[in-house]
A and B are shown apart, each in its own frame.
Chain A
Amino acid sequence: MANTQFFPLEYFANKPAPYSLLPFRFDRWPDGSYLIVSDAGEYEFLPSEIFTTFVNHQLSPSSPHYAKFKAKHFLTDGSSSALLDELASKYRTKKSFLDGFTKLHIFVTTLRCNQSCPYCQVSRQNEDAGAFDMSDESMYRSVDLMLQSPSQSLTMEFQGGEPLLNFELFQKAVLYAKERNLKIGKNIQYVICTNLAPLENKHLDFFKEHEILISTSLDGPDFLHNKNRPLGKGPSHDVVTANIWKAKEALGRNSISALMTTTRESLKYPKEIIDEYLRMELDSIFYRDLNPYGFAIKTSSVIGYSTPEFLNFYKKSLEYIIQINRDGRTFSEALTSMILSKILTPWPIGFVDMQSPSGAGIGVVVYNYDGDVYASDESRMLAEMGQHVFRMGNVHENDYAEIFFGETMQNIASASCNEALAGCSDCAYQPYCGADPVRHFSTQGDIYGNRPTSGYCKKNMGAIKHVFDLLIHSDKDLERIFWAWVNREDVNHLRLPDPAWLSS
C-alpha cells in the first residue's frame, strides 16, 4: 500500500465552508460600515472587512458573524428545503397585509366644510353647497360594495369636507352597514375624521352607542392652529380643544386621536407643538408633510418647505419626544413607531402610504360623494383637480369585479411594487418603504416615478435612515422606549430581557 499523505489538521480548521448567499440588499454608511437587509426585513450592520469577506464567500464558520447570518437567512450552507420554507414564511408574514384585499373603505359623505385651511387637499366647498353631498342611493351602493370585500375585518372611515355637516347620511350609513352585516358577520371598525368644530351632544351619543372612533386635527398651540386651520374667518383652536376634552370625557381617552399637518410656520415650533399634545393628554403625534394636492399646491409658495427642512423638523421633534419618554411620560411619534415595527418585528403595518404593493386600491378605496370610486384619498384629491386617472369606476355603473379588477386597477398595480421599480429594487431600505404611484403621478406626471428626484423617496429614506441611526446608537433606555412604542405599552412598565440571559 502506497504511503498516503494527508493534510495536517490545521489545514481544515477555520477553512471557509462552501456557503451560498441568500437575497439581501445593502447600503454603505458614512462611517464605512455596511447595512445588509434581507427580503424579510432582517438586518445587520457590519464592518467593511466583514462585508467583503462575507460576499466573497470567505467567511469562516467559526466567525461569530457566520451563525448570525445563517440565523437571519443571509447565507445558507445546506440544501435543506426547510430553510427555504422558513424564509418564505417570514416573507409571507411581512406581506400578510395583502390577506383579504381592501380593508380600509373611505366614504366622502360631503365636500362641504366649515374651515378654510390653506393646505386643504380636497378642494372643499362652502357649507351650503348641498350639491356636494353624497346621495342615499350612492351611500347604499357603496356600503354594498364594501361588504363584498373578501376581508373579514374592515374599517369604514368617513371623511369630507366635514362629515358632521352631513350627519344624517353618516348615521344612515353606519346603521345600514350594521344591519347588512348582521348576516355577513364581518368585523367593522367605524372611524370619523372630523375637525370637531360642529360637535354636538347628539353626535357623541351616536358615537358612543356605535363605538365610533374619532380622528381629528390638531396642529399645535392656538397661534399655530388658528393660522393653519381657520374656522370661517375666525380662530378654531378653542373650539377644537374644548371638543377634544368633551369627546374624551364622553367616549374614553383612547377613542380619539389627532393628526398634525406640518406647514412652514410649524417648522419653527417643534417643542410647542408637542407640549400642546401633552397638555391635551394625547398619547401620540403623527407628523404629516403637506400633500401635493388641492389648495396645498396653490399655497405651497407660502406654506411649503423642502424635504430636508421637513426631515430636520422631524429629527428635532423626535429628539424632544425621546427626552419626554426618558423622563417617564409615554408619548410616541406615529411614523417612527411604524418604521420601528417594520425593522424590529416580523409583522407588516397597516399604513397604506408605506407598503409594497402600494395601498392604492389594494389596501384602501374611496367612495366619493358623487358615486365615483377612487384608489385612494389622494386619487380623489387629484380628481377634484380635474385628473381622473385613478377613477376605478362608479357605484351606479360598475360592479365589484369591474371596479377592483378593471383597467385602472391594473395600471396602478403595475407601478405598485417597489421590488420592481427603478432605484427601489436595489435599495437597502426597500423592505421598510413602499410605492406611491398616485403621489408620483401628481408630482412627476408618471405613476412609476423618478426616484432620484422623488420627495417621497427622500422623505422616507431620510426618516428610515434616521431611525436606524438612533437604533445603532441607542442605550438600553432608548431601546426600551422604542419597544414600548412598537408594543403600545407604558415606557415605565416595559422590561427588556437581560442581555446576559440572552447570550447564555
Chain B
Amino acid sequence: MPDKVKSLSAFHIDSDELGVYAKVSVDPLLYGLASILKTAYWFTDQCYVYLANRAPFIEVEFRLKQGDSEDLLTQCCGQFLNNLLDQSVRQVVLGETAGIRDALIKKAFFDAKAAISQLVIADESNRPTGSQSYKDDPLNISGRR
C-alpha cells in the first residue's frame, strides 16, 4: 500500500495547555519573508499569530483570540495561504516599481521649496528701506539653501 501523501503546506492542528492551535509551514524562498510577515499581520484581528524559523521553512501558528473552533482555525490557514499568493504578487509589483515610485514622488514635489519664514515677511521692520538694496541681504536670505 502506498504511503499516504502528506500535505505540501504541512498543515497541522493540535492543542496544548494554551488551547487549540493550527500550523502551516511555508517556504520563504518561494514566497519571500516580507510577504509572509505582511500576510500574517492581517490575521492579528482574530488570532494570536506566532512565526518560527524551522529552516528551510517558516512555521506560522494561529490561535483564536476567542473560542477554540477547529473549523475556524482551518479556515484561517486556508485564507492565509491564498492571501499569501496575492501578497507575493504585491511584493513582485512593489519590487518592480519601487524605483519609479520614488522618482515619481521626488518629481511631483521637486518644486516645493522651503518658503521664507512668514515671520520674516510679516515683520515690517525687515522690509528694505530706500537706502538699502536687495544685495545688502541683512537676513542672509541668499545663504539659506
| Alpha-carbon separation in the docked complex, A142 to B10 (Å) | 64
B43 at the interface (CB under 8 A from A): yes
Across the interface, do A92 and B44 meet the contact criterion of CB distance under 8 Å? no
A87 at the interface (CB under 8 A from B): yes
Closest Cβ of chain B to A56, distance in Å, is 9
Across the interface, do A21 and B115 meet the contact criterion of CB distance under 8 Å? no
Question: B108: which A residues are within 8 A, CB to CB?
Answer: 88-89, 91-92, 95
A-contacting 9-mer, from B13-21, B24-32, B116-124, B128-136: B116-124
Closest Cβ of chain A to B132, distance in Å, is 22
A399 at the interface (CB under 8 A from B): yes
| Alpha-carbon separation in the docked complex, A450 to B92 (Å) | 24
Closest Cβ of chain A to B42, distance in Å, is 5
With A150-B115, A452-B45 as given contacts, are A24 and B97 in contact (CB-CB < 8 Å)?
A: yes
Question: B105: which A residues are within 8 A, CB to CB?
Answer: 91
Question: B89: which A residues are within 8 A, CB to CB?
Answer: 26, 55
Closest Cβ of chain B to A277, distance in Å, is 35
| Alpha-carbon separation in the docked complex, A28 to B92 (Å) | 16
| Alpha-carbon separation in the docked complex, A85 to B93 (Å) | 21
Say which residue of B93, B115, B119 sits within 8 Å of A399 (CB atoms).
B119
* Residues of B contacting A: mostly: helix
With A88-B108, A91-B105, A92-B108 as given contacts, are A23 and B119 in contact (CB-CB < 8 Å)?
A: no
B54 at the interface (CB under 8 A from A): no
With A84-B103, A88-B107 as given contacts, are A25 and B90 in contact (CB-CB < 8 Å)?
A: yes
Q: Nearest CB to that of B96 among chain A residues?
A: A21
- The A123-180 residues at the B interface (CB cut-off 8 A) are 148-150
Interface magnitude class on chain A: 20 to 34
1/0 contact trace for A1-44 toward B, CB 8 Å?
Answer: 00000000000000000001111111010000000000100000
B12 at the interface (CB under 8 A from A): no
| Alpha-carbon separation in the docked complex, A88 to B111 (Å) | 11
Say which residue of B43, B92, B101, B107 sits within 8 Å of A39 (CB atoms).
B101
Say which residue of A84, A95, A399, A452 sits within 8 Å of B100 (CB atoms).
A84
A453 at the interface (CB under 8 A from B): yes
Closest Cβ of chain A to B74, distance in Å, is 20
Q: Nearest CB to that of A404 among chain B residues?
A: B118
| Alpha-carbon separation in the docked complex, A92 to B109 (Å) | 7
Question: A91: which B residues are within 8 A, CB to CB?
Answer: 104-105, 108
B50 at the interface (CB under 8 A from A): no
Across the interface, do A422 and B101 meet the contact criterion of CB distance under 8 Å? no
Across the interface, do B97 and A21 meet the contact criterion of CB distance under 8 Å? yes
Across the interface, do B93 and A88 meet the contact criterion of CB distance under 8 Å? no
A401 at the interface (CB under 8 A from B): yes
* Residues of A contacting B: mostly: mixed
Question: B43: which A residues are within 8 A, CB to CB?
Answer: 452
Closest Cβ of chain B to A274, distance in Å, is 32
| Alpha-carbon separation in the docked complex, A399 to B109 (Å) | 27
1/0 contact trace for A78-102 toward B, CB 8 Å?
Answer: 0000001101110110010000000
Closest Cβ of chain A to B99, distance in Å, is 10
Closest Cβ of chain A to B25, distance in Å, is 23
With A92-B108, A400-B119, A426-B38 as given contacts, are A23 and B45 in contact (CB-CB < 8 Å)?
A: no
Question: A85: which B residues are within 8 A, CB to CB?
Answer: 107
Question: A450: which B residues are within 8 A, CB to CB?
Answer: 44
Across the interface, do A452 and B119 meet the contact criterion of CB distance under 8 Å? no
Closest Cβ of chain B to A102, distance in Å, is 12
Question: A150: which B residues are within 8 A, CB to CB?
Answer: 115, 118
A423 at the interface (CB under 8 A from B): yes
Across the interface, do A55 and B92 meet the contact criterion of CB distance under 8 Å? yes
Question: A20: which B residues are within 8 A, CB to CB?
Answer: 96, 100
Across the interface, do B38 and A87 meet the contact criterion of CB distance under 8 Å? no
Across the interface, do B44 and A452 meet the contact criterion of CB distance under 8 Å? yes
| Alpha-carbon separation in the docked complex, A423 to B39 (Å) | 9
Across the interface, do A23 and B118 meet the contact criterion of CB distance under 8 Å? no
Across the interface, do B41 and A22 meet the contact criterion of CB distance under 8 Å? no
Say which residue of A95, A148, A149, A422 sits within 8 Å of B119 (CB atoms).
A148
- The B30-66 residues at the A interface (CB cut-off 8 A) are 38, 41-45
Question: A148: which B residues are within 8 A, CB to CB?
Answer: 118-119, 122
| Alpha-carbon separation in the docked complex, A23 to B108 (Å) | 14
| Alpha-carbon separation in the docked complex, A23 to B107 (Å) | 15
Question: B100: which A residues are within 8 A, CB to CB?
Answer: 20, 22-23, 84
If A91-B104, A148-B122, A452-B45 are given as contacts, then 9 extra A-B residue pairs at C-beta distance below 8 Å, sorted by A number, are A22-B97, A23-B104, A26-B86, A26-B93, A84-B100, A84-B103, A88-B107, A92-B109, A399-B119
Instruction: Write the residues of chain A forming the contact surface with B, with a CB cutoff of 8 angstroms.
Output: 20-26, 28, 39, 55, 84-85, 87-89, 91-92, 95, 148-150, 399-401, 422-423, 426, 450-453
Q: Sample 14 A-B pairs with CB under 8 A, ordered by A number.
A: A20-B96, A20-B100, A21-B93, A25-B90, A26-B93, A88-B108, A89-B108, A91-B105, A92-B108, A95-B109, A399-B119, A422-B41, A451-B41, A452-B42
